[in-house]
Amino acid sequence: MVITRFAPSPTGYLHLGNARTAIFSYLFARHHKGKFILRIEDTDRERSTKEFEDMLIEDLKWLGLEWDEFYRQSERFEIYKEYAQKLIESGHAYPCFCTLEELEEERKKAEERGVPYRYSGKCRVLSREEVEVLKRENKPYTIRFKVPDNTMVVFEDLIKGHIAINTDDFGDFVIVRSDGTPTYNFVVVVDDALMGVTHVIRGEDHIPNTPKQILIYEALGFKVPAFVHLPVILGEDRSKLSKRHGAVSVRNYREEGYLPEALFNYLCLLGWSSPEEGREIYSKEEFIKIFRLEDINSSPAIFNKEKLKWLNGVYIREVVSLERLVDEFIPFLQKAGYEADREYVRRVLQSTRDSFETLKEGVDRLKPFFVEEVSYSEEAISVLENETSRIVLEAFLQRIEDIDLTQEKVKEIAKEIQKELKIKAKDIWHALRASLTGKLEGVGVDILCSILPKERIKKRILRALQLYS
């Protein structure tokens, strides 16, 4: 059975790159009817917080991911301790009493001489007696993994292919900190092995860690899983997507009014392309059905907000159901301080959902449907100040009195006014638009009139008349 996992550390909001990694892991597991695990990697107690963990989980759920098992590394320290002990006993690891300062010194020296830095292995040769003495003196120590000299560690990455790295490139590394907490490269192996993870899917920034981990798998007698290193997501300037590129967390996009399905879909399109050439819109279920690792591109992709936005627009106007759209839209309305009953919102969106690309943009564009009174732009005011506008508005008011306003009816009335009063169509619509929306651009006036309660229409026109004619 295929088992994959997503293993974020709760040190910030869910990053787009991580979200994509999670999605691919999830899709791969579901495609193979396997298991998907969520594991919180909070071994770094300094930087990890419960708040971020909660946010991470919330955002993952919002994206539509569900997991079959959940773990938190901070609750598994006993297990790691046990395996660290095993490694020491089998001679694969040893205590290291070097201080941070000593190591810094070594590093600096290496740099000065222009040679790649590796831990010297000073403590590797300490005798059992020396270790006992130092321990008795209560000297703090880390535990280091003993890395064999000049050995090629080789693995077949399912995306990158054959990768070979020489152990001399890294040297003995720390697996347990001096405060007793285990480090990433060590716990990730213990957990993946114990949890039966078959495919380790993660960002390519982990490639250099992989040989270290393979060495631990082997030392512990665990089966080495398959590795899948996803290309990273880059910002416009081709450097790794990060905070300085602006909105980079799932949360940001959620708050901007992006639909989870659209973000999910877009993230999948970064680096993955459908075997059905040309098709880009897929539901989660469809993705699960056709997702294959072979279709993942091995080069990094630049995140393009424009395309995400376009895709979100596609979802808003034609993919999600009206009811879902209403559900998603209402919180944004409320946040903007507008109130409206569900049925009204439903009617508004039914005829306007094809004209905006994010929910936030939608709220802005549909303002005239939800506010009591509008405020006028300079251009709108200058239109309203025209004599023609006054005539149009008065004529319109007169004619809507006993009529049930539909889009067609509004157009009819406009035509009547055009004919009878010899006023250009453009001027009629301009006047109506200016008085009803306070602007010269936006939703169709006929649509607005067919949905906005007549009392409000009258009130707005009257007010415009009062103020500017």
Residue 242 tokens read as 């990060």
Least Å distance, CB 273 to RNA, is: 4
Least Å distance, CB 73 to RNA, is: 8
36 within 8 A of 30, measured Cβ to Cβ: yes
Residues in region 18-37 near RNA by CB under 7 A: none
117 touches RNA by CB under 7 A: yes
Neighbours of 237 (CB within 10 A): 9
Give alpha helix (H) positions in 336-386.
Answer: 342-352, 359-365, 367-370, 378-384
Residues in region 276-305 near RNA by CB under 7 A: 277-278, 280, 295, 297-302, 304
Residue 111 tokens read as 């740099």
Residue from 79, 103, 462, 465 touching RNA (CB under 7 A): that is 103
247 touches RNA by CB under 7 A: no
* N-to-C CA span, the chain: 76
156 touches RNA by CB under 7 A: no
CA distance 322 to 324: 5
209 touches RNA by CB under 7 A: yes
362 within 8 A of 375, measured Cβ to Cβ: no
408 touches RNA by CB under 7 A: no
Calculate the CA dihedral of residues 438, 440, 444, 450 and round it to 10 degrees: 30
Neighbours of 112 (CB within 10 A): 8
Stretch that binds RNA, among 254-262, 265-273, 319-327, 382-390 (CB under 7 A): 265-273
362 touches RNA by CB under 7 A: no
Closer to RNA by Cβ: residue 111 or 334: 111
Catalytic residue among 61, 135, 139, 243: 243
165 touches RNA by CB under 7 A: yes
Least Å distance, CB 131 to RNA, is: 15
- List % helix, strand, coil for the chain (3-state, nearest 5): 55, 10, 30
The b/e string for 50-61 (b: 16+ C-beta within 10 A; e otherwise) is eebbebbbebbe
59 within 8 A of 260, measured Cβ to Cβ: no
Stretch that binds RNA, among 63-71, 95-103, 129-137, 216-224 (CB under 7 A): 95-103
56 within 8 A of 15, measured Cβ to Cβ: no
Residues in region 411-450 near RNA by CB under 7 A: 411, 425-426, 429-430, 433, 440-447
| Vertex 329: Cα angle to 328 and 335 (nearest 5) | 110
**Quick one: angle between helices 50-63 and 16-31, nearest 10?**
50
CA distance 194 to 77: 14
Residue from 3, 4, 5, 7 touching RNA (CB under 7 A): that is 7
178 touches RNA by CB under 7 A: yes
Least Å distance, CB 411 to RNA, is: 6
Total residues contacting RNA by CB under 7 A comes to 90
Least Å distance, CB 324 to RNA, is: 18
Element (H, E) at 184: helix 184-194
> Has 411 been annotated as catalytic?
no
Residues in region 130-149 near RNA by CB under 7 A: 140, 142
Stretch that binds RNA, among 23-31, 84-92, 311-319, 456-464 (CB under 7 A): 311-319
Closer to RNA by Cβ: residue 63 or 123: 123
Residue from 69, 70, 100, 334 touching RNA (CB under 7 A): that is 100
Closer to RNA by Cβ: residue 318 or 334: 318
The catalytic site residues sit at: 243
